[in-house]
C-alpha cells in the first residue's frame, strides 16, 4: 500500500514566519541570506512573492519568487 502525501498548504509569508524561514535558510545553504534580507522581501510590494509551504501547521519550505517585466 502506498503512503498518502501529507496535506501541504501554500500561503504568503508573514512577519511571524521569519524565525522558521531563517532556520530553514541556515540549514539549507552554505551562505544563507540574513534575517534582514529575508524580512526585506516582505516589503518589496508586487515585485516580490515570498511564500511558505506548511505541513501540519509547521513551515516545511519557502520560496522567494520575483515578478519581473511587468
Bridge partners of residue 66, in order along the sequence: 48
Give the Cα separation of 28 and 69 in Å (integer).
29
Which structural domains are found in the chain, ordered by start? 8-66 (3.40.630.30)
Mean pLDDT of 5-11: 89
Give the Cα separation of 53 and 35 in Å (integer).
18
Backbone φ and ψ of 15, nearest 5°: -50, -40
pTM more than 0.95:
no
C-alpha cell at 52: 511558505
C-alpha cell at 19: 524565525
pLDDT of the residue at 45: 87
Look up residue 31 and give its DSSP letter.
Answer: S
- Please provide the average confidence, as pLDDT, over all residues in the chain: 92
Mean pLDDT of 3-31: 93
How do strand 58-66 and strand 8-12 relate by DSSP bridges?
unpaired
Q: What percent of the chain has pLDDT over 90?
A: 80
Amino acid at each position: 500500500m502506498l503512503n498518502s502525501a501529507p496535506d501541504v498548504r501554500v500561503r504568503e509569508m508573514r512577519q511571524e514566519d521569519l524565525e522558521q524561514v531563517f532556520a530553514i535558510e541556515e540549514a539549507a545553504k552554505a551562505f544563507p541570506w540574513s534575517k534582514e534580507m529575508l524580512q526585506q522581501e516582505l516589503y518589496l510590494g508586487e515585485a516580490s512573492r515570498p511564500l511558505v509551504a506548511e505541513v501540519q501547521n509547521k513551515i516545511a519550505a519557502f520560496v522567494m519568487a520575483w515578478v519581473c517585466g511587468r
